[in-house]
Structure 1
């Protein structure tokens, strides 16, 4: 795939994130998670994590970010958790359990990522990282 084709694909997913269709938004969230480092994608991913129209969009986007198994994806999740309403927060927490709660090793990987984020400059992110670490103990 050429750079131009990749850019076109990213633009397509960014546009899909604004679709009226929950399935298109969810698919866009899943695909955009791979480009979470791209500034425009990060803003859209945050919006999809807090999707007020369908929690499936929230769940799919969250799981895709967590499946990255890196600080970038988890940081986005923690930032969303900090500002989520109770229902959305429950779905974000469920995504963490679905992806990171499948084995002891997954829990250890999650703990290591959360430990690194407890010193994040964003107090909401660091606070959520500490909260998750407490639940893992």
Structure 2
């Protein structure tokens, strides 16, 4: 995670509403990798649901997943459950499905642990998305016992 001072954080937040897709995407990547992610959760959420360009969605989602932590995954699942367009659903789903963490045993173990944790999240959308993904991995009875 990149430490951002208040000026850098403020600049990235301002860039997140730029009319330029490339600027919004870069801001999404910077904010997603920030150590102050919870302070800018609403901005990140809006970038994950960007109505103007799917590259912004993809860039922000991938940066969140690159964190390899539960909070980054949670933000992607939250947006995925709320996505209102097929394009947003497709790009968020692709980021989740094509996450490079699925390629290593350690990454898979980490993701399954995080999905299990998110399967009890207070937000019903996050909880449901996590449970659906876990159900695809193995029957519900198996992961529910763990």
- TM-score normalized by the length of structure 2: 0.84
| 1:57-136 matches, cutoff 5 A | 57-84=56-83, 85-99=85-99, 100-136=101-137
Structure 1: give runs of 5+ residues left out of the alignment: none
How many angstroms apart in 2 are the aligned matches of 1:65 and 1:101? 15
RMSD of equivalent CA atoms? 1.7
> Could you tell me which residue of structure 2 aligns to residue 33 of structure 1?
32
Gap runs ≥5 in structure 2: 139-146
TM-score, normalised on structure 1?
0.89
SS in structure 1 opposite 2:77?
helix
Cα separation, 2, equivalents of 1:13 and 1:50: 17
Aligned equivalents of 1:94 and 1:104: distance in 2?
20
Post-superposition CA distance 1:1-38 (Å, at most 9, x none): xx9x7111111100000001110000000000123533
- How many positions carry a matched residue from both structures? 133
